[in-house]
Structure 1
Amino acid sequence: MSGQAKKIDVRELDKNMNVENSINTSLKWLSPFEQPFQIAGFPWIAKEGRYRRLPVSPADPLPEAVDMLADCTAGGQIRFRTNSSSLSIKVKLSGSGGVYHMAATGERGFDCYLGEPGSEQFWGTARFDPAKADYEALFYDWQMKREYCITLYFPLYQGVDEVWIGIDLDADLSEAPGFACAKPVVLYGTSILQGGCASRPGMAYPAILSRAIPLEFVNLGFSGNGKGEPELARTIAEIADPALFVLDYEANVASVEHMASTLPAFIRILRESHPVVPILVVSKIRYAKERFDEGMLHMREGCKQVQQETVERFTKEGDANIHFYDGSKLLGDDFSECTVDGIHPTDLGFQRMAKSLELTIRELVKSFLQLQTFCGEQEGRN
């Protein structure tokens, strides 16, 4: 038997594992709140000036956990165009993190994508010391000017108090192209929707969809706490001019009875403010333990039946814009190999979810926009 194995610090062995950033010191630092930056994913930001997914003081008081999770910046984007040869970021987080099954890059990092809407390509993720709440990170330093449309994705599981964008002193800066339309897709649900456990922010399934379609996707996933509460429905209904609501909260409900009591009320509240906006109800993905736990399997099947029957009931009552999607098909037959812990998807799982939902969401939004255009033309003729 040999002696003890040597202590390994891979950062000393592989430079790609090191978090050192050679930040260009000749940069101008700009706030995303300034023109011509565009911020997406925070419906109340124009009024409140905070990177927050729900209002600070809503008309209906929020459950405490939801109120806290609303400060997590999942789904947020900063968009702009620049020819800067260098791009860096300064970040002040609300706190530290460290969930056991999620990469720090997904939990607290920023992603950088380059390209026009609908054709963005991943460039890199922020490199930072995960023990620190504040960091500076270099995305690129090309030593030559190259113009690109930039999309930066906010962290999934932490709040952001401040963020600053660093570009060359003489760089040009302009607006990024707008989304395909100004109407956002609004998604409400669970930790899976929020992005647990994507390796980086751009791999949460709403983020993948926002690049594929492309539209603004508002991520209202609340880890363990999106439970179909009526106060959340009333708050979400305040979002102006949505293109689609997606309700994907089954994974947070405690029983079939809970789903049966909350879903109809949630839909009716949304309908009071948005009578014709499409609503897509998505049932839960399959969990790995279902293969061995009949109780877990029966609960999922029961909740799915409730959601399907609720949609059918609203349709029979005359709601032509409500739809159901069987979430058990989202990950495919080998669903248990697409998660970190048997529940939360890996990047592979999120890619499959987005790919599965893309056509349905695209068609629902397209049909709704065509209907809105037709109605507008009819009103113009009268």
Structure 2
Amino acid sequence: MSEQTASNGKVPVSKLDENMRLESVSEDGMRWHSPARPPFRLEGFPWFEYDGVYRRLPKNPRLPIPAAVDALADCTAGGQIRFRTNSKKLALRVRLDGVADMNHMPATGQCSFDCYLEQDGVMRYHSTGRYNHTLSEYETVLISAGDGAMRSVTLYFPLYRGVKEVLVGLEEEAELLPPPPLADDRRILIYGTSITQGGCANRPGMAYPNIMSRRIPLEMVNLGFSGNGKGEPEVAEIISDIPNPAMLVLDYECNCSADKLDETCSGFIRIFRERHPGVPILVVSRIRFAADRFYESSRDLANRRRQILIDNVERCRAAGDDRVYFLDGSTLLGEDHYEECTVDGVHPTDLGFMRMADGLTPVVQRILREAGFPV
């Protein structure tokens, strides 16, 4: 053991492994751009045009919403910056609303950005912003030595922290162009819990709504509110204000008490349907938890809650609304070893999120095709 290692009891990994070192941002020949202005396309913030803040609900909601939901709306889960460039370098300047503070989710998922680049028409993962996670302001390098090819770029916002400001740094002489258009200007709205928000993905691009956004050419709006996706009618009203919905996904069961689930599910569907007749609604029951393997009481409660959702969907369809659907979420992580897809028996790892996206994507695509969308 070296003297340096022995003296403080810690291995200086960043000194031993150059791949663990942070890369500093060079200012030479760089120009900084606000993604709030063209040719950038900003997605995932339906009220940005009016409020000018990276927020998932309006800054001043027209109805009173729970304080926790209001606070969580500042988390930028699902936000995307899309553009095309041939810059060989790409960096970010970021100002957060706080520091990393979660005990079972990496700072890269909570507070950082992911970079995806187009290759042969497919968005592929390139890099994640790495920084000193004790800071609330940082600069990070996402591309340091690109090949100069013109490519589409998608940057995913942090999942569990608010972003006060972000600037995109590109080479001064690089071209900056709008991204390719989406298949339609309508949006998929996904309302749910911490799992929908992205807890506990290692990095932003691995939250299941973000994975699906790379497979379905429509804007995704992540409306997951950690621990607080309870289906309140006021929240349903505000979400129904979002224009141009292509589909609503309700994935909030595990935050709502069984006693309230029937009331909130039927109410949410009714409120949304009054504003958006004919727009598909997909109701999803929760994924399996580790406790389901060990405890009959956990399985019984899950079965009871699942049946409540099924009954709500069947009542809608019996009344003539054939664009309300149900998906059994207990199948999404697989039949065996599903508990190994979680961080804590509940919140998925990246593997769990990939399995969720693999199960949800074809169902969502089928429903959208039935509604006439080219996906």
> Following the alignment from structure 1 to structure 2, what is the Cα–Cα distance between the partners of residues 144 and 330?
39
User: Which residue in 2 is equivalent to 1:173?
Assistant: 176
User: Which residue in 2 is equivalent to 1:311?
Assistant: 313
User: Which residue in 1 is equivalent to 2:46?
Assistant: 43
Give the CA deviation at 1:143.
6.5
Matches within 5 A, 1:281-292: 281-292=283-294
Amino acid at match of 2:14: R
For the 8 Å contact 1:116–1:177, the answer to whether it is kept is no
For the 8 Å contact 1:118–1:212, the answer to whether it is kept is no
> Following the alignment from structure 2 to structure 1, what is the Cα–Cα distance between the partners of residues 104 and 204?
15
User: Which residue in 2 is equivalent to 1:379?
Assistant: none
SS in 1 for 2:93: strand
Deviations 1:217-275 (A, max 9, x none): 10000000010100010000001111100000011012x22111211011100011001
For the 8 Å contact 2:87–2:146, the answer to whether it is kept is no
Amino acid at match of 1:277: V
Give the CA deviation at 1:144.
5.1
The answer to whether structure 1 residue 193 and structure 2 residue 188 are counterparts is no
Deviations 1:134-161 (A, max 9, x none): 0001111226522111100000000000
Amino acid at match of 1:321: R
The answer to whether structure 1 residue 210 and structure 2 residue 196 are counterparts is no
For the 8 Å contact 1:117–1:211, the answer to whether it is kept is no
Matches within 5 A, 1:261-280: 261-280=263-282
SS in 2 for 1:89: strand
Give the CA deviation at 1:21.
2.3
RMSD: 1.6
For the 8 Å contact 1:117–1:214, the answer to whether it is kept is no
User: Which residue in 2 is equivalent to 1:156?
Assistant: 159
The alpha-carbon distance between structure 1 residues 318 and 36, as it changes in their structure 2 partners (threshold 3 A), is same
Give the CA deviation at 1:367.
1.7
The alpha-carbon distance between structure 1 residues 239 and 131, as it changes in their structure 2 partners (threshold 3 A), is same
> Following the alignment from structure 2 to structure 1, what is the Cα–Cα distance between the partners of residues 69 and 15?
41
> Following the alignment from structure 1 to structure 2, what is the Cα–Cα distance between the partners of residues 43 and 365?
21
User: Which residue in 2 is equivalent to 1:361?
Assistant: 364
SS in 2 for 1:212: coil
Give the CA deviation at 1:293.
2.1
The answer to whether structure 1 residue 110 and structure 2 residue 131 are counterparts is no
Give the CA deviation at 1:369.
2.5
The answer to whether structure 1 residue 328 and structure 2 residue 330 are counterparts is yes
User: Which residue in 2 is equivalent to 1:57?
Assistant: 60
SS in 2 for 1:115: strand
For the 8 Å contact 2:85–2:177, the answer to whether it is kept is yes
Amino acid at match of 1:154: F
Gaps of 5+ in 2: none
The answer to whether structure 1 residue 234 and structure 2 residue 237 are counterparts is yes
Amino acid at match of 2:29: S
Give the CA deviation at 1:9.
2.1
User: Which residue in 2 is equivalent to 1:377?
Assistant: none
For the 8 Å contact 1:285–1:329, the answer to whether it is kept is yes
Amino acid at match of 1:57: N
SS in 1 for 2:372: helix
> Following the alignment from structure 1 to structure 2, what is the Cα–Cα distance between the partners of residues 117 and 319?
40
SS in 2 for 1:350: helix
Matches within 5 A, 1:72-111: 72-111=75-114
Gaps of 5+ in 1: 372-382
> Following the alignment from structure 1 to structure 2, what is the Cα–Cα distance between the partners of residues 92 and 22?
15
> Following the alignment from structure 1 to structure 2, what is the Cα–Cα distance between the partners of residues 55 and 356?
31
SS in 2 for 1:243: strand
Give the CA deviation at 1:98.
1.8
User: Which residue in 2 is equivalent to 1:33?
Assistant: 36
User: Which residue in 2 is equivalent to 1:376?
Assistant: none
Give the CA deviation at 1:24.
4.2
Amino acid at match of 2:178: E
> Following the alignment from structure 1 to structure 2, what is the Cα–Cα distance between the partners of residues 278 and 295?
33
SS in 2 for 1:88: strand
> Following the alignment from structure 1 to structure 2, what is the Cα–Cα distance between the partners of residues 218 and 33?
17
